[in-house]
A = this chain, B = another copy of it.
Amino acid sequence: MARVLTPRAEDFPRWYQDLISKAQLADNGPVRGTMVIRPTAYAIWERMQADMDARIKAAGAENAYFPLFIPESYLKREAEHVEGFSPELAVVTHGGGKQLAEPVVVRPTSETVIGEFMAKWVDSYRDLPLLLNQWANVVRWEMRPRIFLRTSEFLWQEGHTAHATEADAKAYTLKIHHEVYERHMRDLLAIPVVLGRKTNRERFAGATSTYTLEAMMGDGKALQMGTSHELGQNFAKAFDVAYSSQAGTREHAWTTSWGTSTRMLGGLIMCHGDDNGMRVPPALAPIQALVTVVKETDGSITSAARTLVEDLVAAGVRAKLDDRVDTPFGRRAVDAELKGYPIRVEVGPRDLAEGRVVLVRRIDGSKTPLQLGEAVGAVTAALEADQKALYDEALARREANTVEVSTLDEALEAAGTGWARVPWSAVGVDGEALANERAITVRCLFRADGSVPASQDEPDLTAILARSY
């Protein structure tokens, strides 16, 4: 079969670009750094959204929508925040044919505008916690854009909450981190993630604590899949989000924010993709089983394939018929591999004459002849097995490419090709700066029991060092 994609081992970034183009996932937009998300990728994003949204609602947050445009002055109210985001802002200076009195920024994130409204809505301790989430587009001007990973505009959910106490804010941030984000990534995306704390250097602009979920990609680099932030009282003071306590005193709230984005699509591609294309985990896949008519004779092949699709749908499988027999079978097979449908069922005249179809699993390319009557059971069993197998494979790769070391030098060496686990005390703030010079970052810090520390100054922390996207 002709080579469709540049092999990963030859040039991983090129493979990624090839795949995005050939599988018709996305295109570059006309304005630098923007992207067009095509239906194949958008359908996956919609399923990510549905699952994440349900988990966020189960955690008690409600969806709302805040404006795209934020007065420039709002960002300036939180000093670290404006410093962090200023270089990335898109600024609207003209509206309705006139120059605006005050320039307006296109939201890079919404802490400031939401802070303004939290201040209006919160009055008493009875109004807390206030748990909000929004699905929106945000804009951060990117110098080195890459589709899904770094784009000037991207889609995300951003949660924003206000709490009466620091302890409550911390508990909610960690609840989102563990119960919403980690489970979404583990159970739906089949991506193992390491949870930890960002160093002060890598912390979100305006946060007191940033927690991250890091995944290993097919080339051994790290991708930050999502982050949650404790914002302390920084934004609450900047926007006067205050409440009357039960004791009658006036107190500032403690706020949090947390987000995941279309970047997860990039993570999905780079975690599970192989040299033939995407491999979409069955639980996530918009199309789980493609039933392909190999070729048609008298209409009976398509008819049998259609019945199989109906039987699969009745069994709860997201199945689709491919009866485009005018297109060569080989080309359709290549396209199905590129798009990563977990299962193909090939229905052809010769096999069907003997009551058989062929089950093709995307995870390993294996082809299994089956009696037609066994097909539904075999498909559902394969979908369940392959969801688990994709996770296990990603975890095994991460373990194989993570080296436990004890010095900074060894860590920098190991981070050239994979991840280094190293005592944070062996790295420290100076070691972190040195690593950064070599394009290696401290991805996160965690305790010996895997839990996230309250500060980077805790003793006995472990650091992951790696190159990253």
Residues of A near any B CB (own CB < 8 A): 27, 29-31, 34-39, 42-43, 45-46, 62-71, 74, 86-97, 103-104, 106, 113, 116-117, 120, 132, 136-137, 139, 141-143, 152-153, 155
Contact = CB atoms under 8 A, between A and B. Distances in A.
A68 B30 contact: no
Given A34-B69, A91-B94, 5 more contacts: A65-B155, A87-B96, A90-B92, A92-B106, A97-B141
Contacts of A65: 36-37, 42, 45, 155
> Which 9 pairs of residues, A with B, have the shortest CB-CB distance?
A96-B141, A34-B67, A39-B62, A29-B67, A37-B65, A91-B94, A31-B69, A95-B141, A90-B95
A27 B117 contact: yes
A116 B68 contact: no
- Copies of this chain present: 2
Contacts of A87: 96-97
Nearest to A28: B67
A45 to B, nearest CB: 8
A89 B96 CA distance: 5
Contacts of A36: 64-67, 117
A50 to B, nearest CB: 10
A29 B152 CA distance: 24
A161 B35 CA distance: 20
A93 B96 CA distance: 14
Contacts of A71: 30-31
Nearest to A102: B31
29 contacts: A27-B117, A27-B120, A29-B66, A29-B67, A29-B69, A29-B113, A30-B74, A31-B70, A42-B63, A42-B64, A43-B62, A45-B65, A65-B155, A67-B153, A68-B68, A86-B97, A88-B96, A89-B94, A89-B96, A89-B97, A90-B92, A90-B95, A91-B93, A92-B92, A92-B106, A95-B141, A96-B143, A136-B137, A137-B137
Contacts of A37: 64-65
Interface centre among A70, A94, A137 (most CB of B within 10 A): A94
A143 B98 CA distance: 12
Contact of A64 (B31, B38, B69, B137): B38
Nearest to A86: B97
Contacts of A95: 89-91, 141, 152
A91 B92 contact: yes
Given A62-B43, A96-B87, A120-B27, A35 B67 contact: yes
Contacts of A104: 31, 90
Interface centre among A46, A104, A120 (most CB of B within 10 A): A104
Given A67-B153, A141-B96, A132 B62 contact: no
B30 A70 contact: yes
A285 to B, nearest CB: 15
Nearest to A130: B39
Contacts of A94: 89-91, 93, 103
A209 to B, nearest CB: 27
A390 B46 CA distance: 33
A68 B136 CA distance: 11
Nearest to A151: B67
A43 B53 CA distance: 12
B117 A69 contact: no
Nearest to A138: B68
Contacts of A92: 90-93, 106
A40 to B, nearest CB: 9
A320 to B, nearest CB: 12
Contact of A153 (B35, B68, B86, B89): B68
Contacts of A27: 117, 120
A63 B91 contact: no
Contacts of A29: 66-67, 69, 113
Contacts of A34: 67-69
Contacts of A137: 68, 136-137
B35 A63 contact: no
A85 to B, nearest CB: 11
Contacts of A97: 86-87, 89, 141
A86 B95 CA distance: 10
A104 to B, nearest CB: 5
